[in-house]
Structure 1
Amino acid sequence: MCGRIANTLPIDAMAQMFEAVPANDLPDVPNYNVCPTTQISVVVSGNDRRLISMRWGFIPDWYQSPTDGPLLINARSETLAEKPAFRQACRQRRCLIPITGYYEWTKDTAGQRLPWYFSSVDRAPLVLGGIWQEWGADDPIKTCTIVTTPANDVVSNVFHRMPVLLKPEDYALWLGEKGKGAARLMRAAPEDALRFFRVHPQVNSNRAEGSDLIEPFDDDPIKPLF
């Protein structure tokens, strides 16, 4: 589960990176503690690519309110095409979600939650595969979820799943600009793609802010095993 993300990418940089037209209401950056149900920057494609704002937390058509059922911030790639909530979106409404990194948690022997921060080995932005849809008849809102896959052997030292990570050459296929075949992109990233380390427990609070949230917490963090 990818339950919290960080995004420090300037809006102009994101727009240039995807050759996308940016909307005027994009969320502020940097944000080192982006929580579910808040707005995030997302790339969609139609006649052209657009960088727009969406609620992180997919809302199925049949929900009477955003809180009418489970909070769908992640969607499993293995069942994406079968689940009633996701099957139409996975075929017709895929999106790119640019981030700087994301958080996962383990627990110590006392049951305390220990946060870990994941980012690319080369410090480049991460681009996650997502799906989206509009919800609500009168004043529709755009909502999205992050697609996840079973983790590779390195990431599984912390958690058994990871987000689908896309390379620049994958963007057009994921967005549907190159026709069908996006399913083959729903796989774990190579074992040398990510670095990760413990970060301060202050990130456990959704009110925590600041760049120190993504700094190593101890002097000897666990490193990827490659």
Structure 2
Amino acid sequence: MCNLYSMTATVEAMRSVIGAFDGDTANLPPFDEIYPGKLAPVLFRPEPGKLKLELMEWGFPGPQAAKGRSVTNVRNLESPFWRNALVNPVRRCVVPVTRFCEWTEQPDPETKRKAKVWFGLHEEDEPWFAFPGIWRPGPERPFMAFLTCAANSVVGEIHPKAMPVMLRPGQIAEWLDNDHASACALAQPFADAEMRRLV
């Protein structure tokens, strides 16, 4: 389960790839470490053909089975908890990312703590990618969560159970606009050769 990522690409870097979008983006700071419960920039369609950037809280309010804890990752795409949002393109979103973290399974012998291992795109000239996600309104701010899938070999060396679904910016419209089955078909492990371990 991914519970830490970064988004440090500038608004200009995002617009250079996907074009114009709306939202209060003039003072968007770098987000070096985003944990569950924190605000993060998210792109969604407030109406067909429009794209908006808005800060949302990472984690859906959890069902009773989760004892009220927020649910940050969407793994079972057939779950009734997620299905209504996945079927409705209006409730889909994308989460811009520059890198994400998985923690080592075993603690460091000296520090007794698990270590952070960061992952990102293979090419350094590609400034960002995206997690496909879903969002919902909240009383104070919207909530979001993003999809995970089986781990590829690169991530699997550290976290064999799962990894976030990764989209290149050119795939954003496929996730936001396609029918339910076609959108969910994007939930595949990212190609090993196109990503790398950063630390």
TM-score range, shorter chain: 0.7 to 0.9
Query: Whose radius of gyration is greater, 1 or 2?
Result: 1
Distance 1:193 1:31, change over 3 A: same
Displacement of 1:72: 1.1
Q: Is residue 2:2 matched to residue 1:30?
A: no
Residue type of the partner of 1:69? G
Rounded Cα–Cα distance in structure 2 between residues aligned with 1:7 and 1:109: 27
Q: Which amino acid aligns with 2:79?
A: E
**Are 2:108 and 2:114, in contact at CA under 8 Å, matched by a contact in 1?**
no
Distance 1:162 1:27, change over 3 A: farther
Q: Which runs of no fewer than 5 residues in structure 1 stay unpaired?
A: 199-226
Counterpart Cα distance in 2 of 1:11 and 1:170: 18
Q: Normalized per residue, which structure has more helix? A: 2
What one-letter code is carried by the residue in structure 2 that aligns with 1:97? V
1:56 equivalent among 41, 55, 58: 58
Could you tell me which residue of structure 1 aligns to residue 77 of structure 2? Answer: 80
Take 1:196 and 1:29, find their aligned partners in 2: how far apart are those partners? 25
**What is the alpha-carbon distance in structure 2 between the residues aligned to residue 33 and residue 130 of structure 1?**
18
Question: Contact between 1:154 and 1:191, CA under 8 Å: does it hold in 2?
Answer: yes
Structure 2 length-normalised TM = 0.83
Check whether the contact 2:107–2:114 (CA below 8 A) recurs between aligned residues. Answer: yes
Long gaps (5+) in structure 2: none
RMSD of aligned C-alpha atoms? Answer: 2.4
Distance in 2, Cα, partners of 1:81 & 1:129: 16
User: Residue type of the partner of 2:130?
Assistant: V
On the 8 A contact 1:102/1:119 being kept in 2, the answer is yes
Are the structure 2 counterparts of residues 25 and 58 from structure 1 closer, same or farther at C-alpha, using a change threshold of 3 Å? Answer: farther
Specify whether residues 168 and 10 from structure 1 end up closer, same or farther in structure 2 by C-alpha distance, changes over 3 A only: closer
> Are 2:172 and 1:175 aligned?
no
Distance (Å, rounded) in 2 between the aligned partners of 1:154 and 1:98: 21
Q: 1:128, 1:27 → 2: CA distance?
A: 23
What do residues 10-42 of structure 1 show as CA deviations (whole Å, max 9, x unaligned)? 123324433342312788422211222111111
Q: How has the CA–CA distance of structure 1 residues 167 and 194 changed in structure 2, closer, same or farther, with 3 Å as cutoff?
A: same
Following TM superposition, by how much is the alpha carbon of 1:7 offset from its aligned partner in structure 2, in angstroms? 1.2
Alpha-carbon spacing, 1:122–1:26, altered in 2? closer, same or farther (3 Å): same
Structure that is richer in strand per residue: 1
Query: Residues 26 and 186 of structure 1: is their aligned pair in 2 closer, same or farther, counting only changes over 3 Å?
Result: farther
C-alpha deviation, 1:158, in angstroms: 0.5
Where does structure 1 differ by over 4 angstroms across 4 or more consecutive aligned residues? none
Work out the CA distance in 1 between the residues paired with 2:136 and 2:27: 19
TM-score, normalization by structure 1: 0.74
State how many pairs are aligned. 187
Deviations 1:45-94 (A, max 9, x none): 2231111111111225x78xxx9612211111xx123242x111111111
SS at match of 1:154: helix
Query: What percentage of residue pairs aligned between the two structures are identical?
Result: 26
